[in-house]
Amino acid sequence: MIEKEQLVKMIDHTELNSHSGEKKISNLCDEARKFGFFSVCVNSCYTRFAAEKLFGSDVLVCTVAGFPLGACTTATKAFEAGKSVEEGAMEIDMVMNVGALRDKRYSYVKEDIAEVVKACGPALLKVILETCYLTDEEIVEACKICVDAGAQFVKTSTGFGAFGAFPDHIRLMRKTVGPHIGVKASGGIKNFKEVWRLIQAGASRIGMSAGVTMLEGFTLFKYAPQAWLEPEIPCHVCPSRHASLGKLPKALYTYYKQKCSSCPHKDEYNKFYD
């Protein structure tokens, strides 16, 4: 089990919607102070604002770069990250160039990350892989490149892709990067049960907007630990279930469909690709 004090210090309290204004960010900072979250995670136009709001607390400011597509130039990502560090960000969450990774242009991907590492200086860099658009093999490759390039963290998702964090992907990432690199789960995480599953799978940080309601759930669940320690039906937490053609590139949809049809749980649970 986990204590509340440990749990809150794993949470990046997050607000990245384009339509959010200062009031939302201000509330986010107040909540982070009140509950003792590790950081607030905001868009770069709010770096300075959040840093001022959090002055004198031990809540860090985490800012995104090249977010959420990761398809701007390397120079732009590095510029954005560098400026955010100047304005008070202690952590930067950049998005990997997903298209280049899928193209197997690995040296481009590595250079893209290495330049942001440089721009970050003393700040910690997390690299968002956007796992929903990658095969397992590509996730492994991406993790290796991130470590090689000098990033301190790999992170699953932006929250703007086809789907978010799954224990399967977290396990794969943790296995690939080993114990000394951070693994951050993010995207669509709503409650403590999901958080706990991701921590068990190897996540060392959780990015979510629903941190406050998650903590309420955590308190309640304490009284009935068995109910939420029960293993989940595998297909319910399988990325394949969420792989819809609407948002995924066709190749990846096919990949998931094939994975699903050769899965040992297929006859027991799967209702999705019959």
Specify the residue, 123 or 252, whose C-beta has the smaller distance to a copy of itself.
Answer: 252
Q: Which is nearer to a copy of itself, 84 or 174 (CB)?
A: 84
58 catalytically annotated: no
CB neighbours (10 Å) of residue 108?
Answer: 16
Complex with a copy of itself: residue 103 or 232, whichever CB lies closer: 103
Minimum distance from residue 128 beta carbon to a copy of itself (Å) = 10
* Phi, psi (degrees; rounded to nearest 5) at 270: -65, 130
Marked catalytic residue, from 93, 110, 112, 126: 93
CB nearer to a copy of itself: give 40 or 201.
40
Least CB distance to a copy of itself at residue 200 (A)? 28
Q: Which residues bind a copy of itself (CB under 8 A)?
A: 16-24, 43-47, 67-76, 79-80, 83-84, 95, 97-100, 102-103, 105, 130, 133, 160-161, 249, 252
64 closest CA partner among 49, 97, 42: 42
Which token pair is 139?
């996730």
**Residue 65 Cβ, how far from a copy of itself at the closest point, in Å?**
8
Least distance from a copy of itself to the Cβ atom of residue 266, Å: 26
Find all residues with CB under 8 Å of 40, minimum gap 6, and list them: 12, 13, 14, 15, 25, 28, 29, 32, 50, 54, 59, 60, 61, 62
193 is annotated as an active-site residue: no
For the record, the structure tokens of 217 come out as: 């759930």
DSSP per-residue string spanning 82-136: HHHHHTT-SEEEEEP-HHHHHTT-HHHHHHHHHHHHHHHTTSEEEEE--GGGS-H
Tell me whether residue 155 is one of the annotated catalytic residues.
Answer: yes
Catalytically active residues, by annotation: 93, 155, 184
